[in-house]
Amino acid sequence: MYVLALSSSWCQPQPATHHHRLHEGMAQWDALVGAALASLAARRLLFNTRLISLAPPPPPSETFAGPEPWDRDTVEVQIDRNSLQQWLAANGVVSSKEDEVNRKLVLFSGNDYMCLSSHPVVREAAVKAAQEYGMGPRGSSLICGYTTYHKLVEESLAKLQKKEDCLLCPTGFSANTAVMTALGSISSLLSAGRKPAEDERIAIFSDALNHASTIDGIRLVERQQEAVAFVYKHRDMSHLDSLLSSCSFERKVVVTDSIFSMDGDFALLPELVKLRRKYGFLLVVDDAHGTLVCGENGGGVPELFACQNDIDICLGSLSKGVGCQGGFIACSTPWKRLILSRGRSFIFSTSLPVSVVASVNAAIYVSKKEIWRRSIIWDHVRYFASLTKLEITSPIIVIVVGSEEAAVRAHRHLLRSGFLVQPI
């Protein structure tokens, strides 16, 4: 498998001083979250979801032992002729007769790694829920948008990530920004109505290639003067170690993607866990591209590296490996209470439609039964690597062709050859 190997040395016992530092750090974060929740409760700003009771979804129908014809639907698309001509014209290309033919293209730019979006069980679940409830109650989760369907999916995802609790979000983007703003709010809540002093702010250490949603969330709390950001070089643990050791802030957070969306490489989670034991920081991992794709049970990159218990907050997407829509935050119950009370992108968003949540529930069920889907993904990764001789470690494959003009030219050639590969 083309993934980073978990070295045996990482599993060796750590020095007692590291364990002591870790215990102190986690105890500090538990105390901070508890104090923040108490402050919210005193101001009557501690929120909770209001559960709307719906009949439980019917048990999923049969699953399958291997790929079926509908799996092809997820990797074949047809571009509208007018859209194609407009795109070519925008790049200074005069369309030809060949370009005017509407034909199916093989899609190499999608995120539906498990091909679950077209699965009959997933389709059936969405249809049945829509027939029974339409889109369900329309409102935010704190008002009337939270149903027994949402709760069921949260419980499944918490179990998958080995966490106490989980919060379902409208998108992965909103999940990331909600976590960042909730983190920053700790400083404000504990500074008794004044701007937090510099040493009261949270130090957030972010990988240079983290997703835009994480970056935007960090920028927001920086503008609120609740946190200070430190960007470490991509996957450079020596640089991160140096930044951590020279930082005088007591409240430290490290946030990283698990698989980086534009490069396809893995975060060095075992090394990050070592540093967590050394410094006692809060470790936040965005597993958007790993959920259901990695790990024996689909628990993502943390499961792959056997460190789920060392991740404090694990975020994920439901629109990639799950093949549906939405995002989630797997964490402890106190962290969930804080995020749903202070995460503005969660609070002020309408919850996911019941039909979508039903499809998510079905997709998770299918992924547990049809474990061959994960094997096929990694078989394809190995096969593509053998064909191209490229160093490929994940289903995200980056081919650098040079200038923008060269990328567009390569895209156009592939388009005419029947492949949709987008230049980015």
Could you tell me where the DSSP H helices lie in 91-171? 120-133, 148-160
pLDDT band at residue 91 under the 50/70/90 scheme: low
Burial (0-12, 13-18, 19+ Cβ within 10 Å), 410: middle
> What is the CATH topology of the domain spanning 15-51+123-369?
Aspartate Aminotransferase; domain 2 (3.40.640)
Helix (H) or strand (E) holding 419: strand 419-420
DSSP bridge partners of 232: 207
**Location of structure tokens 């061959």:** 372
Structure tokens at 339: 């995020």
The pLDDT value recorded for residue 49 is: 92
* Cα angle, residue 280 at apex, residues 278 and 286 outer, rounded to 5°: 105
The pLDDT value recorded for residue 173 is: 96
**Cα–Cα distance between 343 and 139 in angstroms, integer?**
16
Is the torsion defined by CA of 258, 309, 162, 35 positive or negative? Answer: negative
Asked if residue 156 has pLDDT above 50, the reply is yes
| Weakest mean pLDDT among 60-69, 259-268, 334-343, 355-364 | 60-69
Is the torsion defined by CA of 57, 156, 301, 378 positive or negative? Answer: negative
| Weakest mean pLDDT among 13-22, 30-39, 161-170, 216-225 | 13-22
Q: Say if residues 193 and 242 touch (Cβ distance below 8 Å).
A: no
Indicate the angle between helix axes 333-342 and 16-42, nearest 10 degrees. 50
Which residue, 272, 337, 217, is CA-closest to 202?
A: 217
Asked if residue 176 has pLDDT above 80, the reply is yes
Residue 321 neighbours by CB under 8 Å, 6+ apart? 111, 113, 114, 116, 289, 290, 291, 292, 293, 298, 367
**String of DSSP letters for 297-320:** TS--HHHHTT-GGG-SEEEEESSS
Over residues 47-74, the pLDDT tens digits come to 999 999 999 888 888 899 999 988 888 8
pLDDT band at residue 100 under the 50/70/90 scheme: low
**Cα–Cα distance between 146 and 50 in angstroms, integer?**
6
CATH 3.40.640.10 domain locations along the chain = 15-51+123-369
C-alpha distances out from residue 400 to 267, 335, 423, Å: 21, 40, 10
**Cα–Cα distance between 52 and 126 in angstroms, integer?**
18
Q: Say if residues 354 and 55 touch (Cβ distance below 8 Å).
A: no
**Cα–Cα distance between 127 and 45 in angstroms, integer?**
38
DSSP bridge partners of 229: 204
The pLDDT value recorded for residue 308 is: 97
pLDDT (mean) for 398-410: 89
| Weakest mean pLDDT among 103-112, 198-207, 277-286 | 103-112
Over residues 245-277, the pLDDT tens digits come to 999 999 999 999 999 999 999 999 999 999 999
What are the backbone dihedrals phi and psi of residue 185, each rounded to the nearest 5 degrees, phi first? -65, -20
